Amino acid sequence: MKPCRFLILWILAFLSDVCFAQKMQWKEVNPGVWKAVIGKPEAFNLINASGASPNQNALQQLARSGFPFKSEEVSGKISDAKTYLSFPLDREEQIYGFGLNFQTVHQRGRIMQLHVDHFGGKDNGRTHAPTPFYVSSKGYGVFINSARYLDVYAGTGVRKDSKNPPVAQDRNTDKTWSARPYSDAVEIMVPAGGVEVYVFEGPTPLEAIRRFNLFNGGGCLPPRWGLGFTQRVERLYNAEDVKREAGEFEEKGFPLDYIGLEPGWQSKSYPCTFEWDQGRFPNPKQLVSDMLAKGVRLNLWLNPYVSPSSSIYSSILPYTGSHTVWVGAVPDLNTTQGRGMLFGKFKKEAIDIGISGYKIDEVDGYDSWLWPDVATFPSGISAEQTRQTYGLQMQRYTTDIYRQKNERTYGLIRASNAGGVSYPFVIYNDYYNHEDFITALINSSFAGVLWTPEVRASKSGEEWLRRMQTVVFSPMAMINAWSSGTKPWSYPEVTPQVKEMAELRMQMMPYWYSEFAKYHFEGTPPFRAMNLEEGFKTEARKVTENTNLEENPYLEAVAKEVKDQYMAGEYLLVAPLFAGQQTRKVILPKGKWYDFYTGAYAGNGEIITVTPGLDKIPVFVKDGGIIPFMPKKLHAPKAGEKTDIEFRHYGEKPGRYRLYDDDGETFNYEKGEFSWREIRIEKSKDGSIKGSVSSPQPGKPDNLGAITWKSMTR
Ligand code: GAL
pLDDT tens-digit map of 566-614: 999 999 999 999 999 999 999 999 999 999 999 999 999 999 999 999 9
| Residue 96: pLDDT band with limits 50, 70, 90 | very high
Residues of the chain above pLDDT 90, percent: 92
* Ligand 1 centroid from CA 249, angstroms: 23
pLDDT at position 7 over 90? no
* Ligand 1 centroid from CA 195, angstroms: 36
pLDDT at position 367 over 50? yes
Judged by DSSP in three states, 648 sits in: strand
* Ligand 1 centroid from CA 338, angstroms: 25
What's the alpha-carbon Rg for the chain, to the nearest Å?
26
pLDDT at position 75 over 70? yes
Q: What is the pLDDT of residue 484?
A: 98
Residue 604 burial by Cβ neighbours in a 10 Å radius (0-12, 13-18, 19+): middle
Residue 262 CB–ligand 1 contact under 6 Å? yes
User: Among positive and negative, which fits the CA dihedral 355, 356, 357, 359?
Assistant: negative
Domain residue extents for the chain: 19-166+178-215, 626-711
Q: What CATH code is assigned to 626-711?
A: 2.60.40.1180
Residue 456 CB–ligand 1 contact under 6 Å? no
Q: Give the DSSP per-residue string, 666-688.
A: SSGGGGT--EEEEEEEEE-TTS-
CATH 3.40.50.970 applies to domain 19-166+178-215: no
Mean pLDDT of 449-454: 98
* Ligand 1 centroid from CA 361, angstroms: 7
Mean pLDDT of 40-61: 98
Same fold, 19-166+178-215 and 626-711: yes
CA-nearest of 283, 279, 288, 286 to 261 is 288
Q: For ligand 1, atom 5, which residue shows the shortest CA distance?
A: 482
| Residue 560: pLDDT band with limits 50, 70, 90 | confident
Give CA–CA dist 204/211, Å, rounded.
Answer: 11
Q: What is the pLDDT of residue 4?
A: 58
The count of C-alpha atoms lying within 13 angstroms of the C-alpha of 393, restricted to the half-sphere facing its C-beta, is 25
Contact yes or no for 46/419 (Cβ under 8 A) = yes
Give CA–CA dist 80/100, Å, rounded.
Answer: 30
Number of H helices and number of E strands within the chain?
13, 36
Looking at 48-52, 159-163, 611-615, which range is the least confident one?
Answer: 159-163
Q: What is the pLDDT of residue 550?
A: 39
Mean pLDDT of 90-119: 96
| Residue 259: pLDDT band with limits 50, 70, 90 | very high
Residue 482 CB–ligand 1 contact under 6 Å? yes
Give how far Cα 709 sits from Cα of 121, 627, 678, 681, Å: 47, 10, 14, 9
Task: Report whether the peptide linkage leading into residue 271 is cis, meaning its omega lies within 30 degrees of zero.
Answer: yes
Q: What is the pLDDT of residue 551?
A: 41
Contact yes or no for 464/489 (Cβ under 8 A) = no
pLDDT at position 19 over 60? no
pLDDT at position 10 over 70? no
pLDDT at position 520 over 90? yes
Residues of the chain above pLDDT 70, percent: 94
| Residue 3: pLDDT band with limits 50, 70, 90 | low
Residue 120 burial by Cβ neighbours in a 10 Å radius (0-12, 13-18, 19+): middle
pLDDT, one tens digit per residue, over 648-688 is 999 999 999 999 999 999 999 999 999 999 999 999 999 89
Q: For ligand 1, atom 10, which residue shows the shortest CA distance?
A: 262
Residue 96 CB–ligand 1 contact under 6 Å? no
Q: What is the pLDDT of residue 540?
A: 53
* Ligand 1 centroid from CA 386, angstroms: 22
* Whole-number average pLDDT of the chain: 94
Give CA–CA dist 445/525, Å, rounded.
Answer: 6
**Amino acid letter, 630:** M
Q: What is the pLDDT of residue 557?
A: 40
b/e for 666-694, b at 16 or more Cβ within 10 A?
bbebeeeebbbbebebebeeeeebebebe
Ligand 1 atom with least separation from CA of 359: 10
Judged by DSSP in three states, 649 sits in: strand
Q: What is the pLDDT of residue 555?
A: 46
Q: What is the pLDDT of residue 22?
A: 67
| Residue 31: pLDDT band with limits 50, 70, 90 | very high
* Ligand 1 centroid from CA 453, angstroms: 14
Residue 42 CB–ligand 1 contact under 6 Å? no
Residue 675 CA from chain centroid, whole number: 26
* Ligand 1 centroid from CA 663, angstroms: 32
Q: What is the pLDDT of residue 537?
A: 79
Give the predicted TM-score (pTM) of the model.
0.95
User: Which of 230, 269, 301 is the best mutation target for the ligand 1 pocket, counting ligand atoms within 8 Å of the beta carbon and taking the most?
Assistant: 301
| Residue 18: pLDDT band with limits 50, 70, 90 | very low
Q: What is the pLDDT of residue 543?
A: 44
Contact yes or no for 219/421 (Cβ under 8 A) = yes
Mean pLDDT of 629-658: 98
* Ligand 1 centroid from CA 269, angstroms: 11
pLDDT at position 515 over 80? yes
Residue 332 CB–ligand 1 contact under 6 Å? no
Q: What is the pLDDT of residue 547?
A: 37
Mean pLDDT of 301-318: 98
Give CA–CA dist 551/177, Å, rounded.
Answer: 9
